[in-house]
Amino acid sequence: MKNHVWKPLYIVLAIVGSILIIRTVLVPNDFGMHERGYMYGWHRKSNEADWKKVPVKYKTAKVCRECHKDKYDDIKDSPHGSISCENCHGPNYNHPQDPVGLKIDTSRALCLRCHSLLPYKNSARAKIPGINPDKHYTQAECVMCHYPHDPTRSNPKHRRPEVKS
Ligand code: HEC
Ligand code: HEC
Ligand code: HEC
Ligand code: HEC
């Protein structure tokens, strides 16, 4: 066969060969499928230890329940039952030892994120009962009247301010 036929073939072989060599150099020895099979896909075994060191930010309502059972019991069967504690209070991190993240936000903005009346009705968000923030008792924080851990009740912590219409 003529040289011009062999030449491209050598080039292709050289490229494939160098890819294989580069691969053995670059891919770490512990890369592969480990005990859990396809569960975590292909990964470095040592990467599992790296991930275990990442601090968990969110701990879920089950963890809050251990110490704040009153709030947990109030909210669980209320219209706010599907909202995680940490959605309003921020991530737990190492609360209560280390209070980073956790906060009590009594601003109207916290509630308006979900309850500002939407002018368009075609999203799931629009199914949440909405109020017009410029008309609905503008003189007070929402939690002065509504109890956030069960919004069907008035807030036991506050006395409702006099509402003049
Ligand atoms: C190991 C027990 C424990 C767990 C678990 C726990 N807390 Fe607390 N929490 C406390 C203690 C203790 C306080 C301080 C009480 C006080 O100051 O009256 C506190 C205070 C708070 C406060 C008030 C903070 C402030 O500035 O006054 C909030 C809000 C709160 N926790 C929310 C949560 C949420 C949400 C979770 C779950 C993600 C959670 N807690 C899990 C023990 C716990
Ligand atoms: C819809 C938002 C929202 C959710 C969800 C929520 N909270 Fe709260 N939480 C608040 C607000 C707002 C306050 C402040 C209320 C006030 O000052 O009247 C508060 C106050 C608190 C306090 C302070 C103590 C007190 O008596 O006021 C604790 C503790 C607390 N929440 C724990 C929790 C836990 C635990 C959960 C989940 C089971 C949870 N919260 C879910 C909004 C929320
Ligand atoms: C993450 C979104 C979210 C946040 C934040 C939130 N809510 Fe809600 N709220 C809801 C959902 C969802 C419902 C239930 C809707 C339904 O099932 O019809 C609801 C229901 C309500 C209701 C109607 C209760 C009834 O009688 O049916 C009131 C009042 C209310 N919330 C007040 C508040 C107040 C006050 C705050 C701030 C402290 C707040 N919400 C924060 C999502 C939210
Ligand atoms: C002064 C007390 C007061 C304050 C402050 C207040 N509300 Fe209300 N809210 C009420 C009362 C009373 C109702 C019952 C219906 C009405 O009178 O509008 C109500 C009804 C609602 C409803 C139910 C609407 C429906 O269609 O079912 C939502 C949601 C709501 N409020 C959210 C909020 C939010 C969010 C804030 C803060 C931005 C807030 N409220 C501030 C007293 C208050």
What pLDDT score was predicted for residue 2?
Answer: 73
Query: Which position has the higher pLDDT, 12 or 102?
Result: 12
12 vs 37: CA distance, rounded Å:
34
158's CB contacts (< 8 A; 6+ apart) are 143, 144, 145
Q: Indicate the range of 62-66, 94-98, 117-121, 157-161 predicted with least confidence.
A: 157-161
Ligand 4 atom closest to the CA of 114, numbered from 1:
35
- Judge whether residue 85 has pLDDT over 60: yes
The pTM of the full predicted model, rounded to 2 decimals, is 0.86
| 75 CB near ligand 1 (under 6 Å) | no
Mutate to test the pocket of ligand 1, among 64, 70, 143 (most ligand atoms within 8 A of CB): 64
| 95 token code pair | 């609360």
pLDDT value, residue 161: 54
Q: What is the pLDDT of residue 165?
A: 45
| pLDDT score for 22 | 96
d(CA 157, CA 104) in angstroms, rounded, equals 14
> Which whole number is the average pLDDT over 104-123?
91
Dist CA 102 CA 45 (whole Å):
34
> Is the Cβ atom of 142 under 6 angstroms away from ligand 1?
no
Ligand 3: residues with CB < 6 A are 79-80, 83, 87-88, 110-111, 113-115, 128-129, 142-143, 146, 148, 151-152
Q: Whose CA is nearest to atom 20 of ligand 1?
A: 96
Q: How far apart are CA 156 and CA 158, in angstroms?
A: 6
Q: Return the residue matching tokens 């309502």.
A: 61
Tens-digit pLDDT profile for residues 134-164: 999 999 999 999 999 999 999 988 765 555 4
Q: What is residue 1's predicted lDDT score, i.e. its pLDDT?
A: 63
Across the chain, mean pLDDT equals 90
Residue bearing the bigger pLDDT, 99 or 41: 41
pLDDT one-digit tens code per residue, 8-52: 999 999 999 999 999 999 999 999 998 888 888 899 999 999 999
